[in-house]
Amino acid sequence: MYHPQVGDPLEALDTPSMIVDIALMEENIVRLMQRFREKRVHVRPHLKTVKSPELARLLLAAGAIGGCVAKVSEAEVMAQGGIEDLLITTEVVGKPKLLRLVDLVRQHPRIKVVVDSLAGAQALDQAMSAAQVEVNVLIDLNVGQNRCGVLPGEEALMLAQQLSKMSNIHLVGVQGYEGHLQHIHDPEERGRRCQQAMQALTETAAQLRAKGFPIEIVTTGGTGTAEICANCAEITEVQPGSFVFMDTDYRNALGPAYANALTILSTVISKPTPTRAVVDAGLKSLSIESGMPEPKGLTGIAYQPGGDEHGILTWSMSAASALTPLEIGDRIEFIPSHIDTTINLHDTYYAHRNGRLEAIWPVTARGKVQ
């Protein structure tokens, strides 16, 4: 059986395969790091996108101070892969997860976690105390996304006071992620609303400090907003993730700020009519909740899923694409519409430079949703 190896040409890969244009990925990383170095704000990339310790190490080598993860199980993978300074950006609730977290923090004390309730914090403190382990926490603020988080101001102050009475958890910062603003197309509106969110976040950080709480970390921002966030002097770090590879949803909102560096390579397996072809990439290879993936370099050809394993391509005879009709056996790259959920469908990154494999990285945290 063929096993892809570094040095092989892309033509040797079976499909569907997740492929990365390393040169474009490197440019994205360098560009982002450069922007934040100029602004003197730390970058703690959200590793929920890449789900790979190898890629996390590349980000650290490029200047990241650590990483964010969404789940304890992702933190386990990253810590095992040598990433020590991790922030778990989702509230950790429930005994099974708390026991895992205790084990993890015992071995990796630089792991931090967010809290947004007295009940959640008490359970965390009890689990940590029972095991004689201590953990640093950040208060998660709702700055408008209306997902998790306490309200800025009074609610946050009250929670901070409650946390200060607990023995094994220590408040070190605040998180206020404005996920609802990431994909706003109008840069003026995105900027204005993001500044409002940052005001709520930084005012609360200042109020907490004024009451004597040691707020060292003020963390926020995704690919769509991080630069706006970083213009606020009090923001200490930003958490973008998607910029590494991008997707069509972000490209449509942000323009060419970063390049689409990841595609799903597929093969035309059937061409039942002159204007319809079928590829071997369906819902199990490409996510569609943020729109349809785009066939790279093919204008006038539309993709729709044809089930779990099939994708249907259609075009009109009058379209320019009819001049270069697809044939059975042709290989097509698709740019995902939502990068995180597409990566989570694949086992392996096949990374190439100019069409020749340069690295093969497992998606080690694939499926790590607990």
Ligand X SMILES: Cc1ncc(COP(=O)(O)O)c(C=O)c1O
Cα separation, 154 vs 134, in Å, equals 26
Helices 72-80/95-107 angle, 10° precision:
20
One residue of 4, 63, 81, 179 binding ligand X per CB under 6 A = 179
Report yes or no: 241 and 49 within 8 Å, Cβ to Cβ: yes
Cα separation, 165 vs 237, in Å, equals 27
- Is the link from the previous residue into 9 a cis peptide, with omega within 30 of 0? no
Q: Which residues of 224-260 are buried (b: 16+ CB within 10 A; e: fewer)?
A: bbbbbbbebeebbbbbbbbbbbbbbbbbebbeebbbb
Site string for ligand X, 300-339 (x = CB under 6 A): ----------------------------------------
CB of 91 to ligand X, least distance (A): 11
Nearer to ligand X, 241 or 295 (CB): 241
CB of 248 to ligand X, least distance (A): 14
335, two tokens: 């740019």
Nearer to ligand X, 53 or 240 (CB): 240
Nearer to ligand X, 259 or 319 (CB): 259
- Going by the DSSP 8-state scheme, the letter that residue 151 receives in this structure is P
Nearer to ligand X, 176 or 295 (CB): 176
* Rg, the chain, Cα only: 22
One residue of 15, 89, 337, 342 binding ligand X per CB under 6 A = 89
Residue numbers 208-247 binding ligand X by CB under 6 A: 222-223, 239-242
One residue of 17, 25, 39, 46 binding ligand X per CB under 6 A = 46
Site string for ligand X, 190-209 (x = CB under 6 A): --------------------
Closest CA to 112 of 92, 131, 86, 132: 86
Query: How many residues bind ligand X, per CB under 6 A?
Result: 13
CB of 32 to ligand X, least distance (A): 10
| Residue at 324: amino acid letter | T
One residue of 17, 28, 49, 202 binding ligand X per CB under 6 A = 49
Nearer to ligand X, 33 or 319 (CB): 33
Residue with the closest Cβ to ligand X?
222
Cα separation, 180 vs 184, in Å, equals 8
CB of 179 to ligand X, least distance (A): 6
Nearer to ligand X, 177 or 213 (CB): 177
Mention every residue, 6+ apart, whose C-beta is less than 8 A from residue 256. Answer: none
Cα separation, 175 vs 152, in Å, equals 11
CB of 210 to ligand X, least distance (A): 26
Report yes or no: 193 and 144 within 8 Å, Cβ to Cβ: yes
One residue of 177, 213, 258, 350 binding ligand X per CB under 6 A = 177
Nearer to ligand X, 46 or 112 (CB): 46
CB of 23 to ligand X, least distance (A): 21
Is residue 303 classed exposed, middle or buried when 0-12, 13-18 and 19+ CB atoms within 10 A define those classes?
Answer: buried
Nearer to ligand X, 180 or 271 (CB): 180
Cα separation, 93 vs 87, in Å, equals 15
Nearer to ligand X, 67 or 282 (CB): 67
Closest CA to 201 of 182, 178, 224: 178
Place of tokens 């729709």: 304
- 66 counts as binding ligand X under rule CB under 6 A: no
Per CB under 6 A, residues contacting ligand X are 46, 49, 68, 89, 177, 179, 182, 222-223, 239-242
